[in-house]
């Protein structure tokens, strides 16, 4: 290890010169995370004098006004700060910024700017995929090929692209490459077309589409809705929180049913639609005697190539020639989820473990693309032999030790080879200070709308019939989408795991994505066997019968669009109402932190889902605006926001909502009967 004592490249607060080191607090590993591997590595980091996000959270308090959502810095007369007095406000709320902006206006502007940030991130990722897809369809990127023509045929109709042709009265299949080209061109048009509305909106249940139409929030194109948020939140434009939220809603829908859904679909077409497979998760997947290459970020465009290159026999031979036993790829964040879902590449951790992967001393290279990458990974890499490689033109780092290899789909394989070789060449530079925690868990991942249909759909019906049937008969109480990040302001993975466990214990099946998926994998919840340990009797019976885990991993954060489509399939299969808002379902992000999470949360809400966030929400400083989101939104879209930091209460609120929906559907009785049946059955078996 290079000595961090020089302070070179180390976070300024943690120069471990004796004088300053003493003043800084370090995180208590047990309080920081529920995960043993994380605790071990945090102790290790502290021993080495390297600060991590957990320590920095101890030394920097959150801003009380910002957390309430009532700090405005949208012009040079601010920041204007409007904290809510501890005792609340009685009578008229006359707080205002210099321009007169009310707390509601400020909080709403901030909120929808977060939506803009999140929707932009997801959608720009989607655009990147669409551009690669177009270049593949034009035969300009020889290293990629379309992997899933079935998926291409399935989405073509939404773009008004014909899949058959009539010649002399006879219908024949069209050339798939022609279809690909047309779909690619039209898909790319979704970001900036000058007329009409997003094509995928019609995939939503009709009632939902009609609600959007009535409320005037049908997105026109993806980019425009995001730009319009930036315009409306500029000083002196939109100063009505309801009207601001209307635009926020429109942009969030453009993310969920637009940018994200396009990203998911086109990735499936290009790289294959996920089907269940086995893998592992947590830092213990790294191997001391292998070249460890960690991929981190969000886009699968580069990581797909890295997976392909790392599997090449000549690369394996090259690794052997350098004294390693092979190449161990592993992933962090949603790039990890992408290559997990399609290739079974194991995950070495969630968002909050990115620094720790390097602190193992065994990370020969970390390659990053976009989103959720700590700038501090460069400082940590500087303490070790680790090569940190940025690859995306829009995501670079200022530190000098960072290597930039700009990835381009036109020479994808070449770029990936350079990166993998760099990792292999660096194996020999490893120090003696390797410490990889042993913890890792087995997981079954790779679910999607199609895989759920296959496993739960009943073979001859080819629909969600069996799932619906089990919800109606009460074995499955309801469906929860539990997603999102880690947040250093709350104990790592605790919210994720407690919320999910409470849900499955109460027979609620969980669909997971993002870092929640990784957290559940680390905890062993993504195995069919976990059903017997953690589930209520009904869900357990279903999981055991069809052989699925009680928590189904649907992929990355753009794959939250899979949850929207799965919910739509449930509506279509019948018996559970006519809209997503009728379903006994709820959403959750127990440890959210990113703007993307706010965009996701809001498109869940706008799609009719009751959605609970943990940690905190920057709306609490504007009670009227908060009430609008938490209560009045339900009248507009059927879904609404909620906030609950306590994980068990958080899950119980979701369950209470699910039970209300069951009652409204008239299927609450069925569940009571089932419970009696199950109890009776237990008595029988124990007798
Ligand atoms: Fe990032 Fe997607 Fe959040 Fe995890 S869940 S911290 S956004 S990696 Ni997307
Ligand atoms: Fe203050 Fe208004 Fe400027 Fe915001 S826009 S910083 S509230 S003056």
Which pLDDT does position 464 carry in this prediction? 84
Q: How far is the CA of 64 from the centre of ligand 2 (A)?
A: 18
Q: What is the pLDDT of residues 492-508, one digit of tens each?
A: 999 999 999 999 999 99
Closest Cα to atom 6 of ligand 1: 485
Q: 461 pLDDT exceeds 70?
A: no
Q: 376 pLDDT exceeds 90?
A: yes
Closest Cα to atom 1 of ligand 1: 372
| Closest ligand (CA of 103) | 2
**CA 192 – CA 223 distance, rounded (Å):** 6
Point out the ligand 2 atom lying closest to the alpha carbon of residue 73. Answer: 6
Point out the ligand 1 atom lying closest to the alpha carbon of residue 337. Answer: 2
**CA 646 – CA 629 distance, rounded (Å):** 20
Q: Is the CB of 503 under 6 A from ligand 1?
A: no
Point out the ligand 2 atom lying closest to the alpha carbon of residue 97. Answer: 7
Confidence of residue 672 (pLDDT cuts 50, 70, 90): low
Closest Cα to atom 4 of ligand 2: 72
Confidence of residue 453 (pLDDT cuts 50, 70, 90): confident
Q: 13 pLDDT exceeds 70?
A: no
Closest Cα to atom 3 of ligand 1: 485
Average pLDDT, the chain: 94
Which pLDDT does position 452 carry in this prediction? 87
Which pLDDT does position 24 carry in this prediction? 87
Q: 11 pLDDT exceeds 70?
A: no
| Closest ligand (CA of 487) | 1
Q: What is the pLDDT of residues 132-172, one digit of tens each?
A: 999 999 999 999 999 999 999 999 999 999 999 998 889 99
**CA 338 – CA 559 distance, rounded (Å):** 9
Mutate to test the pocket of ligand 1, among 333, 349, 559 (most ligand atoms within 8 A of CB): 333
**CA 190 – CA 588 distance, rounded (Å):** 29
Q: Is the CB of 550 under 6 A from ligand 2?
A: no
**CA 500 – CA 480 distance, rounded (Å):** 9
Q: Is the CB of 333 under 6 A from ligand 1?
A: yes
Q: Is the CB of 96 under 6 A from ligand 2?
A: no
Mutate to test the pocket of ligand 1, among 117, 485, 487, 522 (most ligand atoms within 8 A of CB): 485
Point out the ligand 2 atom lying closest to the alpha carbon of residue 98. Answer: 8
Please check whether residue 116 is in contact with residue 229, taking contact to mean a CB–CB distance below 8 angstroms: yes
Which pLDDT does position 671 carry in this prediction? 74
For residues 641-650, give the mean pLDDT: 98
Q: Is the CB of 557 under 6 A from ligand 1?
A: yes
Give the helix/strand (H/E) hosting 172.
strand 170-173
Confidence of residue 43 (pLDDT cuts 50, 70, 90): very high
**CA 218 – CA 231 distance, rounded (Å):** 18
Confidence of residue 680 (pLDDT cuts 50, 70, 90): low
Q: What is the pLDDT of residues 52-61, one digit of tens each?
A: 999 999 999 9
Q: 687 pLDDT exceeds 70?
A: no
Q: How far is the CA of 127 from the centre of ligand 1 (A)?
A: 19
**CA 365 – CA 380 distance, rounded (Å):** 12
Higher per-residue pLDDT: 21 or 441: 441
- DSSP of 360-395, one letter per residue? TS--SEEEE-SSS--THHHHHHTTSS-EEEE-BTTB
| Closest ligand (CA of 80) | 2
Which pLDDT does position 679 carry in this prediction? 55
**CA 259 – CA 53 distance, rounded (Å):** 30
Q: Is the CB of 288 under 6 A from ligand 2?
A: no
Q: Is the CB of 471 under 6 A from ligand 2?
A: no
Q: How far is the CA of 72 from the centre of ligand 2 (A)?
A: 6
Point out the ligand 2 atom lying closest to the alpha carbon of residue 106. Answer: 7
CB count in 10 Å sphere of residue 268: 26
Tell me the angle at which helices 494-505 and 647-665 cross, rounded to the nearest 10 degrees: 30
Which pLDDT does position 183 carry in this prediction? 98
**CA 512 – CA 526 distance, rounded (Å):** 10
**Bridge partners, residue 511, by sequence:** 481, 552
| Closest ligand (CA of 517) | 1
| Closest ligand (CA of 99) | 2
Q: Is the CB of 180 under 6 A from ligand 1?
A: no
Residue 175 is classified by DSSP as: P
Q: What is the pLDDT of residues 113-122, one digit of tens each?
A: 999 999 999 9
Q: Is the CB of 336 under 6 A from ligand 1?
A: no
Q: What is the pLDDT of residues 268-327, one digit of tens each?
A: 999 999 999 999 999 999 999 999 999 999 999 999 999 999 999 999 999 999 999 999
Confidence of residue 669 (pLDDT cuts 50, 70, 90): confident
Mutate to test the pocket of ligand 2, among 98, 104, 241, 622 (most ligand atoms within 8 A of CB): 98
Please check whether residue 254 is in contact with residue 121, taking contact to mean a CB–CB distance below 8 angstroms: no
Q: Is the CB of 246 under 6 A from ligand 1?
A: no
Q: Which phi and psi angles does 85 have, rounded to 5°?
A: -60, 145
Q: How far is the CA of 633 from the centre of ligand 1 (A)?
A: 26
Mutate to test the pocket of ligand 2, among 69, 71, 77 (most ligand atoms within 8 A of CB): 77
Q: What angle do CA 142, 145, 150 make, to 5 degrees?
A: 160
Q: How far is the CA of 371 from the centre of ligand 2 (A)?
A: 29
Which pLDDT does position 212 carry in this prediction? 98
Q: How far is the CA of 227 from the centre of ligand 2 (A)?
A: 20
**CA 538 – CA 536 distance, rounded (Å):** 6
Q: How far is the CA of 230 from the centre of ligand 2 (A)?
A: 14
| Closest ligand (CA of 75) | 2
**CA 64 – CA 146 distance, rounded (Å):** 50
Q: How far is the CA of 119 from the centre of ligand 1 (A)?
A: 13
Tell me the angle at which helices 103-137 and 222-232 cross, rounded to the nearest 10 degrees: 160
Q: How far is the CA of 110 from the centre of ligand 1 (A)?
A: 20
Q: How far is the CA of 109 from the centre of ligand 2 (A)?
A: 11
Q: 6 pLDDT exceeds 60?
A: no
Q: Is the CB of 98 under 6 A from ligand 2?
A: yes
Q: Is the CB of 598 under 6 A from ligand 1?
A: no
Q: Is the CB of 101 under 6 A from ligand 2?
A: yes
For residues 226-231, give the mean pLDDT: 98
Confidence of residue 12 (pLDDT cuts 50, 70, 90): very low
What stretches of 440-536 show up as alpha helix (H) in DSSP?
449-456, 465-472, 494-505, 514-522, 530-534
**CA 510 – CA 523 distance, rounded (Å):** 14
**CA 15 – CA 128 distance, rounded (Å):** 39
| Closest ligand (CA of 513) | 1
Mutate to test the pocket of ligand 1, among 124, 357, 484 (most ligand atoms within 8 A of CB): 484
For residues 595-620, give the mean pLDDT: 98
Residues recorded for the chain: 687
Please check whether residue 655 is in contact with residue 500, taking contact to mean a CB–CB distance below 8 angstroms: no
**CA 685 – CA 669 distance, rounded (Å):** 24
| Closest ligand (CA of 97) | 2
Q: Is the CB of 520 under 6 A from ligand 1?
A: no
For residues 611-625, give the mean pLDDT: 98
Point out the ligand 2 atom lying closest to the alpha carbon of residue 79. Answer: 6
Closest Cα to atom 2 of ligand 1: 334
Q: Are strands 441-445 and 277-281 parallel, antiparallel or unpaired?
A: antiparallel
Q: 89 pLDDT exceeds 60?
A: yes
């Amino acid at each position: 290890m290079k000595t961090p004592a020089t302070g070179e490249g180390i976070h300024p607060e943690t120069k471990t010169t004796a004088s300053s080191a003493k003043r800084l607090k370090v995180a208590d590993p047990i309080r920081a995370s529920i995960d043993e591997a994380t605790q071990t590595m945090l102790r290790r980091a502290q021993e080495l004098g390297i600060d991590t996000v957990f320590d920095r959270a101890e030394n920097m308090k959150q801003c009380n006004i910002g957390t309430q959502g009532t700090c405005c810095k949208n012009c040079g007369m601010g920041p204007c700060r409007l904290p809510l007095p501890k005792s609340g406000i009685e009578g008229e709320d006359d707080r205002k910024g210099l321009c007169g902006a009310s707390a509601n206006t400020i909080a709403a502007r901030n909120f929808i700017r977060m939506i803009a940030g999140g929707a932009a991130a997801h959608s720009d990722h989607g655009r990147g995929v669409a551009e690669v897809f177009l270049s593949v369809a034009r035969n300009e990127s020889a290293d990629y090929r379309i992997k899933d023509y079935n998926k291409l045929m399935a989405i073509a109709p939404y773009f008004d692209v014909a899949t058959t042709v009539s010649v002399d009265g006879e219908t024949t299949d069209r050339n798939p490459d022609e279809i690909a080209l047309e779909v690619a061109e039209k898909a790319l048009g979704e970001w900036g077309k000058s007329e009409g509305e997003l094509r995928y909106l019609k995939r939503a249940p009709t009632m939902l589409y009609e609600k959007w139409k009535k409320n005037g929030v049908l997105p026109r194109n993806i980019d425009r809705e995001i730009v319009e948020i930036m315009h409306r939140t500029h000083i002196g434009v939109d100063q009505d929180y309801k009207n601001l939220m209307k635009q926020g809603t429109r942009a969030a829908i453009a993310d969920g049913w637009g940018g994200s859904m396009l990203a998911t679909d086109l990735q499936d077409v290009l790289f294959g639609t996920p089907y269940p497979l086995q893998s592992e998760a947590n830092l213990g997947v790294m191997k001391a005697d292998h070249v460890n290459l960690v991929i981190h970020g969000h886009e699968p465009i580069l990581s797909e190539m890295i997976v392909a290159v790392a599997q090449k026999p000549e690369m394996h031979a090259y690794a052997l020639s350098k004294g390693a036993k092979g190449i161990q790829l592993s992933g962090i964040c949603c790039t990890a989820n992408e290559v997990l879902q399609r290739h079974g590449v194991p995950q070495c951790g969630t968002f909050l473990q990115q620094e720790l992967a390097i602190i193992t001393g065994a990370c020969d290279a970390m390659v990053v693309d976009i989103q959720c990458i700590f700038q501090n990974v460069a400082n940590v890499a500087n303490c070790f032999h680790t090569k940190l490689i940025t690859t995306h033109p829009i995501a670079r780092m200022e530190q000098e030790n960072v290597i930039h290899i700009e990835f381009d789909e036109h020479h994808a394989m070449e770029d990936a080879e350079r990166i993998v070789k760099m990792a292999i060449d660096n194996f020999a530079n490893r120090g003696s200070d390797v410490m990889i925690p042993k913890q890792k868990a087995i997981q079954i991942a790779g679910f999607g709308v199609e895989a759920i249909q296959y496993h739960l759909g009943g073979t001859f019906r080819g629909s969600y019939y069996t799932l619906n049937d089990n919800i109606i008969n009460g074995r499955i109480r309801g469906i929860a989408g539990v997603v999102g990040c880690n947040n250093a302001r709350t104990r790592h993975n605790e919210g994720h795991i407690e919320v999910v466990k409470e849900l499955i214990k109460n027979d609620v099946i969980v669909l997971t994505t993002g870092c929640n998926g990784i957290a559940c994998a680390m905890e062993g919840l993504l195995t069919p066997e976990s059903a017997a340990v953690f589930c209520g009797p009904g869900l357990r019976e279903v999981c055991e019968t069809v052989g699925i885990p009680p928590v189904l991993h649907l992929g990355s954060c753009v794959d939250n669009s899979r949850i929207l489509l799965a919910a739509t399939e449930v509506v279509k299969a019948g018996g559970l109402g006519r809209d997503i808002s009728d379903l006994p379902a709820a959403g959750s992000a127990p440890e959210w932190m990113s703007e993307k999470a706010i965009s996701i949360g809001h498109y869940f809400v706008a799609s009719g889902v009751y959605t609970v966030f943990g940690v905190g929400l920057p709306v609490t400083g504007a009670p009227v605006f908060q009430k609008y989101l938490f209560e009045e939104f339900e009248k507009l879209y059927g879904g609404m926001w909620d906030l609950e930091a306590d994980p068990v209460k958080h899950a119980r609120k979701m369950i209470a909502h699910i039970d209300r929906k069951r009652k409204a559907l008239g299927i609450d009785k069925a569940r009571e009967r089932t419970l009696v049946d199950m109890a009776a059955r237990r008595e029988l078996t124990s007798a």
